[in-house]
Structure 1
């Protein structure tokens, strides 16, 4: 099924029958990616006495599982500024639109001391004069093993806070990246890139111009079959009243722009 979308007086065509899923599924297998010093997710049937909520075990007519996981450490997730604030803010309350024009860019982080960092200069170069609603960052090299990495205590690449501030100032509202965090793994709790993107200056007293309706999505995977360029993004979340939710960002190639 094909559709036409209109944005900034331009018309784009998309083929809704060809979704490009850039999420990483959550499972209870050893292949599940893990960050932040957690064990793997748990998906297991409810047990009440001799009754087991699994059809294959004979005592139940339905499969009836409990799932225990952490959205930040166990797969693709979307978070709002409530992730870093003293007061509670829910991503379910503040993400109220779900389709955005997005730019996919590929960036090889630069070596800075012992770190690998995505710099402001690199982001400026990739975007040129473009100001997308959403930015999808694919880091290079782009090994398929990103789907299963155990990130804890590995000092993964991260986004420099000046790059995050540039994205905020440019008007990018939704940032998606294939890393466990936009910030350095061990950063003494500074969270400079998170704060810069959301324009949070004080986590205890939220400033009036903080970006409540902007999101960061981490632990995506953008396959090599998806070239850099413009896409329609459908940013799907589960309706958890929480600072973050597991999510399923889906891209659609666009043509036109006339």
Structure 2
């Protein structure tokens, strides 16, 4: 099967057989990424009276019950309801099957090495992604290719797949100017390989989330202009085999009526099609 697409005057062949998942496999009861000190994701056999859903314990079949926090236990996608009172479920977001996407790699910088801002005030040692960093990485990339943006931070160690983020392991985050720039460029689906757009301990402001969804800062009620269709996907892992550049994104989500859910984003490589 051959799939071709045309965008911004360019024609591409989609390499379907080379699609790469950005989701971190979630090993229940095993090594897994963790944010904010949340309980780890666990699986246990269902029990009903004398019956147990575990063939190793004499059950007729395996029926595990799962316990997880989608925001803290691995790759997940959020809707605007992460920060507002009303439920605009993730099941109603990301309806496009294939989305033009750009993958970039960036080096976070110490806050005392930039002139960007944040709420609360940046600490000198905070590791941030700045507007200048994004401008340089996206130089020459047209807005047509920024419906989705995947941000890979460097260094890109495999320890991201089992990292326990906490006071001794503070992840990077976006500055105010960086988020305003991404909004200006028209990014609808933002994917990152760290656990939150915002600083881990930010006094509850979630500045970057509010800017991305165009919700008044420190408010939990979306304005009529709030960008309800946008999604944020956090804790992806982008293998080194994927080069920075243009792709199609297939963001796979379960039909959960919640603000967030575990997700499985795929990047589909492209090549010029001269047929």
Same fold judged by TM-score > 0.5?
A: yes
Answering whether residue 51 of structure 2 is matched by residue 37 of structure 1, we say no
CA contact (8 A) 2:23 2:75 kept: yes
Counterpart of 1:216 in structure 2 is 232
Q: Distance in 1 between matches of 2:220 and 2:103?
A: 34
Q: Which is further off, 86-95 or 102-111? A: 86-95
Counterpart of 2:119 in structure 1 is none
CA contact (8 A) 1:155 1:186 kept: no
Q: Distance in 1 between matches of 2:160 and 2:209?
A: 22
Select the residue among 191, 194, 206 that pairs with 1:191.
Answer: 206
Deviation readout 1:179-198 (Å, 9 max, x if unpaired): 00010000011111111111
Counterpart of 2:155 in structure 1 is 141
Equivalence map 1:79-228=2 (5 Å): 79-112=78-111, 113-130=124-141, 131=143, 132-153=146-167, 154-201=169-216, 203-228=219-244
Structure 2 unaligned runs (5+)? 112-123
Secondary structure of 1:146's counterpart equals helix
Q: Distance in 2 between matches of 1:87 and 1:168?
A: 22
Q: Which is further off, 221-230 or 126-135? A: 126-135
Deviation (angstroms), 1:257: 6.9
Q: Distance in 1 between matches of 2:32 and 2:258?
A: 22
**How large is the RMSD of aligned CA atoms in angstroms?**
1.4
TM-score normalised by L of structure 2: 0.89
Q: Which is further off, 5-14 or 124-133? A: 5-14
Deviation (angstroms), 1:145: 0.6
Counterpart of 1:231 in structure 2 is 247
Deviation (angstroms), 1:54: 1.4
CA contact (8 A) 1:109 1:157 kept: yes
Answering whether residue 73 of structure 2 is matched by residue 74 of structure 1, we say yes
Q: Distance in 1 between matches of 2:252 and 2:93?
A: 13
CA contact (8 A) 1:231 1:254 kept: yes
Counterpart of 2:269 in structure 1 is 253
Deviation readout 1:58-115 (Å, 9 max, x if unpaired): 222x211111101100010010111001222211113222311111100010011121
CA contact (8 A) 2:29 2:43 kept: no
